[in-house]
Amino acid sequence: MGRMANAESYVLAIGTKKGLWLATSPDRRDWSLSGPHFLMSEVPSIGIDTRDGRTRIMVGVRSEHWGPTVFHSDDLGETWNEPENGAITFPDGTDAALERIWQIHPDADSRPGVVWAGCEPISVWKSTDGGEHFELNRGLWDHPHRSEWGAGYGGAAAHSIVVDPTGEKVHVAMSTGGVYRSLDGGTSWEPRNKGISAYFMPDPNPEFGQCVHKIAADAAVDGRLYAQNHHGVYRSDDDAESWESIAEGLPADFGFVMLTHPRRAGTAWVIPLKADGERIPPDGKLAVHRTDDAGASWKRLDAGLPDAEYNAVLRDAASVDGAEPAGVYFGTRGGSVYASADEGEHFTEVASHLPDVLCVRAAVVSAALLPARP
Amino acid sequence: MNSAMISGGAMPADSAISVVLPSVLQPLAGGQSILTAPAEASVTVEWLLNAVTGDYPALSRRLRDETGAVRRYVNIYVNGNEIRRLQGLVTAVAPGQEVLIIQSVAGG
**What residues of B are in the A interface, CB distance below 8 Å?**
25, 57-58, 61-63, 65-67, 69, 71, 73-74, 103-104, 106-107
Task: Choose among B58, B74, B107: nearest Cβ to A84.
Answer: B58
Average of pLDDT values for A167-189? 97
- Identify which of B63, B66, B103 has the shortest CB distance to residue A98: B66
Q: Which residues pair with A122 in a beta bridge?
A: none
pLDDT of residue B102: 96
- Predicted local distance difference test score (pLDDT) of residue A3: 42
Torsion-angle region of A251 (φ positive above 0: left; ψ -120 to 50: alpha; else: beta): alpha
DSSP lists the bridge partners of residue A331 as A337
What are the pLDDT digits (tens) for A179-189? 999 999 999 99
A238 SS3 class: coil
Q: Which of A130-139, A142-151, A365-374 has the lowest mean pLDDT?
A: A365-374
Contact list in A for residue B103 (CB cut-off 8 A) is: 65-66
- pLDDT band, very low/low/confident/very high, at A339 (cuts 50, 70, 90): very high
Q: What is the pLDDT of residue A373?
A: 59
**B5-103: CATH class:** alpha beta
Helix and strand tally (H, E) in chain B? 2, 8
Dist CA A178 CA A300 (whole Å): 28
Is there a contact between B57 and A95 if contact means CB atoms under 8 Å apart?
no
**One-letter amino acid identity for A127?**
S
Which of A40, A67, A95 is opposite residue B71, by nearest beta carbon? A67
Report the percentage of chain A scoring pLDDT > 90.
Answer: 91
pLDDT confidence band for A220 (50 / 70 / 90): very high
Residues of chain B with confidence (pLDDT) below 50: 1-10
Say if residue A284's pLDDT is above 60: yes
pLDDT at A369: 75
Q: Is A245 exposed, middle or buried (0-12, 13-18, 19+ CB in 10 A)?
A: middle
A97 → chain B, closest CA residue: B66
> What's chain A's average pLDDT?
95
What is the distance in angstroms between the CA of the first residue and the CA of the last residue of chain B? 39
Provide the ipTM.
0.90
Q: Is residue A5 pLDDT above 80, yes or no? A: no
Considering CB atoms only, which of A63, A65, A96 is closest to B66? A96
Give the C-alpha separation, A239 to A217, whole Å: 9
pLDDT at residue A152, as a whole number: 79
Q: Which of B61, B62, B71 to mutate to test the interface with A (most CBs of A within 10 A)?
A: B61
Q: How confident is the model at residue A1 (pLDDT cuts 50, 70, 90)?
A: very low
Question: Is A86 close to B61, i.e. CB distance below 8 A?
Answer: yes
